[in-house]
Structure 1
Amino acid sequence: MDEKDWFALRILYEEKNISRAAERLYISQPALTYRLKNIEKEFGTSIFFKIKGGIEFTSEGAHLAGYAEEMIIKLQKTKDYMLNMQNEVRGTLRLGVSSNFAQYKLPKILKKFSIKYPLVQFNVNTGWSTEIMNLLDSASVQLGILRGNYDWYGIKTLLHKERLCLISKTKVDMENLPNLPFINYKTDSSLKGLMNGWWHDRFSEPPLVTMETDRQETCKEMVKNGLGVSILPEICMQPSDNLHTYGLSYKNGEPVLRNTWLMYNEESLKLSSVKNFIDFLNSNPNL
């Protein structure tokens, strides 16, 4: 098996479908099938079998897919350290970033960092914080920027705190909130728990949910058109939204805050690209 075999097995294990895996690998389906048959011949075993709508891995195939994933990570680490031995700050910075931070903060950060260190390349994965946590645990990324509180065995640095806000097209009476149409959106369990905790602290009856949306930006557009109210993190609000915002507080007056954390392993600091990026974030807290 070589590097191309490792990537083929990883993508196939993710897709469980030969045609979709071939598309992601930018090769033809027959070429992928030929490569897979050679792997089976090399190890003298079947690595998958066909089922309706795709394939299923055998136990031997699943073991090989796990081995391929380990080898891909080891190869990337070796490349990183080889580049790090040179005098210049260079290499590929692999980041896992929560969606909101990636949308509203990350582009400006990467732009300024790339001006200072033009030889550093970026490989960025975005998603819910729970998904970024999985990428960190599997060492698929070197740094994670997550929103909410998660346990982490490595280094964990607080980047900043932000407040949750009620948003509305018109002025509202906060005490009358349970009677107003409320717009929900899909989000991770951390933010949902924070929102629910504030609501139950303030009200004895549930919100009057009249709409469920798939993402925060869709929700905000609905609010901008006067279709209801919602709760969003402060990071999502722009002056051009022209919405009324009300910072949330618990009954005891404490503001409802959400933390954004930078997480990584101490071993990653051996890479100049990682260390300089961390130093850059810490020295530019207002980015």
Structure 2
Amino acid sequence: MDEAAWKIIVELRRTPNVTRAADRLFMSQPNLSKKLQGIEAALGVRLVLRTPKGISFTPEGEYLADEAELMLARLAEIRGNLLRLGSGASGTLRLGMTNGFARHLLPPCLKRFKEEYPGAALDIATDISAAVVRRLERDEIHVGFIRGEGEGGFERALIGSEQACLVHAVPIALDDLPTTPQIAYLSDPFARRLVERWWHSHFRARPLIGMRANHGDTCLEMIANGLGYGVFLAPNFLGEGRQLWSTPLHFADGQPVLRQAWMIWRREFSDIPLIRNFLGHMQGEIAAGLL
């Protein structure tokens, strides 16, 4: 049954007179009678009985009329949802981001986006930058927020950059680093490549890895206890409450060791209204210096 058939059944119950129902449906009486017979034939049941006062519904007809009203209400709801989706005012937006973005940078921006588009749902996945790029490649997310130069032919908007720093518990000279234990924790290949470039611009020897940690906070605790130094690419990781030294890093030519932060997305995704609205909102946040 199509929408027109549902409307016929509903109108016949509201107006139990074929002629008047036909007028309300902008149909001729013979055409309505023919369509009703076609519905009954297709379903294999008798839906209405003709009486001197008009028509009355059989139990099967009453059941079908109840279902028809539900179907029409559901169709109206679907149409409304599609209109909202078409305007980009609702739907689910899948975002991928590093833990630093999720903890420190994006929550205020996402709050403002939700205030502008309350019908939008956000599905957020946190991971290292390389994994966020892979998620975008596999269409698991719509927009990613990464640090470092990620591969892939994506559209991107520069958010900003941060200077890497050496973190240590006591003063340390650059020349002493090859013989001082390093506490390594960087799991993101983008970050490791940047640190390796900095290291090899100064030293031929490989760093002396004294310990490996799986998280920056763990690395900081080890540094605070004098077990070595660490390299951090996000200064907001340092937080407060620890008495540690932080030395900005430079390449051998004097250029600062900077890691850029990006918003990335697939070009074809920007044709989806909700994603287009989100990208526009975030680009406005970036331009205003709010991200």
Match of 1:219 in 2: 219
Deviation at 1:271, TM superposition (A): 3.1
Map 1:95-110 → 2, pairs under 5 A = 95-110=95-110
Does residue 244 of structure 1 match 2:245?
Answer: yes
Separation of aligned partners in 1, 2:249 and 2:114: 36
Alpha-carbon spacing, 1:218–1:109, altered in 2? closer, same or farther (3 Å):
farther
Does residue 276 of structure 1 match 2:288?
Answer: no
Secondary structure in 2 matching 1:250: coil
User: CA-to-partner distance for each residue in 1:13-72, whole Å, 9 max, x for gaps?
Assistant: xxxxxxxxxxxxxxxxxxxxxxxxxxxxxxxxxxxxxxxxxxxxxxxxxxxxxxxxxxxx
Q: What is the TM-score with the length of structure 1 in the denominator? A: 0.65
| AA matched with 1:194 | L
Deviation at 1:116, TM superposition (A): 3.2
Separation of aligned partners in 2, 1:122 and 1:284: 17
| AA matched with 2:157 | T
Higher radius of gyration, 1 or 2: 2
Separation of aligned partners in 1, 2:154 and 2:181: 43
Corresponding pairs, count? 209
Separation of aligned partners in 2, 1:242 and 1:271: 49
Quick check: 2:109–2:285 contact (8 Å CA) kept in 1? Answer: no
Map 1:12-91 → 2, pairs under 5 A = 82=82, 84-85=84-85, 87=87, 89-91=89-91
Secondary structure in 2 matching 1:249: coil
Quick check: 2:98–2:128 contact (8 Å CA) kept in 1? Answer: yes
Match of 1:259 in 2: 260
Segments of 4+ moved more than 3 angstroms = 81-88, 239-242
Deviation at 1:277, TM superposition (A): 2.2
Match of 2:69 in 1: none
Deviation at 1:191, TM superposition (A): 0.7
Match of 2:172 in 1: 172
Separation of aligned partners in 1, 2:246 and 2:131: 29
Across the aligned residues of Structure 1 and Structure 2, the Cα RMSD in angstroms comes to 2.5
Separation of aligned partners in 2, 1:149 and 1:121: 29
Identity score, percent? 29
Match of 1:47 in 2: none
Structure 1 residue ranges without an equivalent (≥5): 1-78
Match of 2:14 in 1: none
Deviation at 1:176, TM superposition (A): 1.7
Separation of aligned partners in 2, 1:142 and 1:220: 33
Deviation at 1:242, TM superposition (A): 3.9
Alpha-carbon spacing, 1:275–1:181, altered in 2? closer, same or farther (3 Å):
same
Structure 2 residue ranges without an equivalent (≥5): 1-78
Deviation at 1:230, TM superposition (A): 0.3
Quick check: 2:114–2:120 contact (8 Å CA) kept in 1? Answer: yes
Separation of aligned partners in 2, 1:82 and 1:153: 31
Secondary structure in 2 matching 1:284: helix
Secondary structure in 1 matching 2:256: coil
Separation of aligned partners in 2, 1:241 and 1:82: 53
Quick check: 2:158–2:261 contact (8 Å CA) kept in 1? Answer: yes
Match of 1:230 in 2: 230
| AA matched with 1:219 | C
Match of 1:163 in 2: 163
Match of 1:65 in 2: none
Separation of aligned partners in 1, 2:161 and 2:107: 19
Q: What is the TM-score with the length of structure 2 in the denominator? A: 0.65
Does residue 200 of structure 1 match 2:175?
Answer: no
